[in-house]
Structure 1
Amino acid sequence: MRRDFLKLMLGGASLLAIASCSTTDPKFKSYSGPPVTRIDVFKSSRVMTFYSGSTPIRSINFGLGYAPVGNKEYEGDGKTPEGLYYIDRRNPNSRYHLSVGISYPNDADRARAMMQGVQVGSDIFIHGQGPEGRAATKRDWTVGCIAVTDAEIEDIYAMVPDGTPIMIYP
């Protein structure tokens, strides 16, 4: 009987420990759909499409940098980069609710900036609204990032693993 009581107590303690590790923060969603294997971003139409293999699984509209036309050339130009990058980091404590990092600058971006004698810039993300986005009066308000709603970045944060290729088209 004592052994049964010990088993019951240990089992209950284990369940309590597991429950205490779970989060009630709604911004950390889980995703059980098909794996996201690539993202295509079309700046001109403001549509970002997520693919599993060759099958599109979701499309989202977004905002860009305050100077949305053209490729990012230097820090502070307000443009979003164009080309092939990768999701390379995430920030659960972002000022913009949540964010996933884009691997800008790549070697070509650094070389171009060096040739022009300018700072290449960094910290390009897909992110939520944050205080600036909620106060923005225009769709394109970031300094070069891709902005979505807070609900959409919660989904993206859950869906997209680090290492996912992201192709940004003009």
Structure 2
Amino acid sequence: MKRRIVLLSAASALLLTACGSKFKRYNDPQVTRVIVFKGERKMHLMHKGKALRSYDIDLGFAPYQHKREEGDGRTPEGNYIIDRRNPNSSFHLSIGIDYPNARDIAKARAAGVSPGGDIFIHGQPNKFAPKGPDWTAGCIAVTNKEMEQIYFMVNNGTPITIYP
């Protein structure tokens, strides 16, 4: 009887721990590309041309043009790669986009400015609430619950295309 109670208690503790974790498991089709439509404020996780999931997004506070320089508040446009992840992000969870690429760096140098960097797909801030839409400094933001899905669906090396 005692053994049964101990086993049930351990199973309950494991179940409660798993329910509260921001780290989820994903066993469905692999995400082969991420597509972002800035004008529609939509992001789609694709598997060979079919949308697996779609999300409403917030962007940089100046969302209507391609990012040109550090601090401009713009979200980049073009073809990039998901290249890193941060489980301890100030924005719940985050996955990095390899902005700036060689083209972005060349354009910024020609203009005599820094292209900036640290562009991520991330959740909500841990320390304050965003004030309205398009509140990031150039990143792509979703809800924390959505970011938990995205974090484990999208692998490093996945291409991302960001359209105007």
TM-score after normalising by structure 1: 0.84
The match for 2:63 is: 68
The C-alpha deviation readout for 1:37-90, integer Å capped at 9, x for no partner, is 001100000000111111111110100000111000000000000000000000
Question: What stretches of structure 1 of length at least 5 have no aligned partner?
Answer: 1-19
Written as runs of structure 1 = structure 2, the 5 A alignment for 1:71-90 is 71-90=66-85
Paired positions, count = 149
Runs of 4+ residues deviating >2 angstroms: none
Cα RMSD for the two superposed structures = 1.6
2:154 is the counterpart of 1:160: yes
TM-score after normalising by structure 2: 0.87
Question: What stretches of structure 2 of length at least 5 have no aligned partner?
Answer: 1-13
Amino acid at match of 1:95: S
Q: Secondary structure at the match of 2:44?
A: strand
**Alpha-carbon distance in 1 for matches of 2:104, 2:123:** 25
| Structure 1 counterpart of 2:109, from 90, 114, 120 | 114
Amino acid at match of 1:160: V
Instruction: Flag the structure with larger Rg.
Output: 1
CA displacement at 1:131 relative to structure 2: 3.7
Amino acid at match of 2:138: G
